[in-house]
């Protein structure tokens, strides 16, 4: 603590805690200081929330941009996963036709296709979660009052991408098992 008289500066900051709302408290402080010395200029009276908001504004922009890019990445991943899984099932249309022609039941073929999709989903999920865990340290510096280990977000993204992969496998497999086996057999791979 150094008295103001011993080390005067051009400006001074008062921090006031009060039970009132900020606007009436600010006017009360202003009138009290003016009653002590009317020549003292008072400027830039702000709440602590406003000071914090101003200090984190650049980081907030970074986090908003990161969120937008993350949403675009999830959308691109969804489209990519759907395309790859659909392609893998369509590639097996000939095989599905052979199985159906030899007497396989639709449910057995669907179980085969969905089982393979589940294995791919499990492998992709494991790799994705490991990559996310390794990248958390870099993200922690951009976050304010939020943990980089946000389990609801991890579960939501994992669930959405797994659901998309299952749908991308199920829909083409359903089409292939409903088609005439002779048409599926003539399908070029």
User: What per-residue confidence (pLDDT) applies to 9?
Assistant: 73
Q: Answer for the pair 94, 187: CB distance below 8 angstroms, yes or no.
A: yes
- Any domain includes 157: yes
- Any domain includes 95: yes
Domain count, the chain: 1
Q: How confident is the model at residue 187 (pLDDT cuts 50, 70, 90)?
A: low
For residue 82, the enclosing domain spans 56-185
- Any domain includes 154: yes
- Any domain includes 71: yes
- Any domain includes 126: yes
- Give the model confidence (pLDDT) of 93-122 as tens digits: 888 888 888 888 989 988 988 888 889 889
Phi-psi category of 103—alpha, beta or left, where left has phi over 0 and alpha has psi -120 to 50? left
Q: Answer for the pair 188, 103: CB distance below 8 angstroms, yes or no.
A: no
Separation CA 68–CA 70 (nearest Å): 5
Q: How confident is the model at residue 72 (pLDDT cuts 50, 70, 90)?
A: very high
- Any domain includes 44: no
- Any domain includes 76: yes
User: Is pLDDT at 6 greater than 80 in this prediction?
Assistant: no
Separation CA 166–CA 82 (nearest Å): 9
Burial of 20 (0-12, 13-18, 19+ CB in 10 A): exposed
- Any domain includes 42: no
Tokens describing residue 72 = 């675009």
Tokens describing residue 184 = 């599926």
- Give the model confidence (pLDDT) of 9-64 as tens digits: 777 777 778 788 877 888 888 888 888 888 877 777 788 888 888 888 888 888 88
């Amino acid at each position: 603590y150094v008295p103001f008289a011993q080390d005067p500066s051009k400006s001074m900051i008062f921090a006031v805690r009060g039970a009132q709302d900020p606007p009436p408290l600010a006017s009360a402080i202003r009138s009290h200081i003016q009653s002590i010395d009317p020549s003292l200029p008072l400027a830039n009276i702000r709440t602590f929330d406003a000071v914090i908001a101003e200090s984190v504004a650049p980081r907030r922009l970074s986090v908003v941009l990161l969120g937008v890019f993350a949403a675009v990445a999830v959308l691109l991943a969804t489209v990519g996963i759907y395309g790859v899984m659909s392609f893998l099932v369509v590639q097996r249309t000939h095989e599905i036709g052979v199985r159906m022609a030899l007497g396989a039941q639709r449910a057995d073929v669907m179980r085969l296709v969905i089982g393979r999709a589940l294995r791919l989903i499990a492998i992709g999920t494991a790799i994705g979660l490991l990559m996310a865990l390794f990248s958390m340290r870099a993200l922690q510096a951009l976050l304010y009052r939020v943990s980089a280990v946000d389990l609801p977000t991890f579960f939501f993204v994992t669930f959405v991408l797994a659901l998309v992969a299952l749908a991308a496998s199920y829909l083409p497999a359903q089409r292939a098992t409903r088609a005439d086996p002779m048409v599926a057999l003539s399908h070029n791979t």
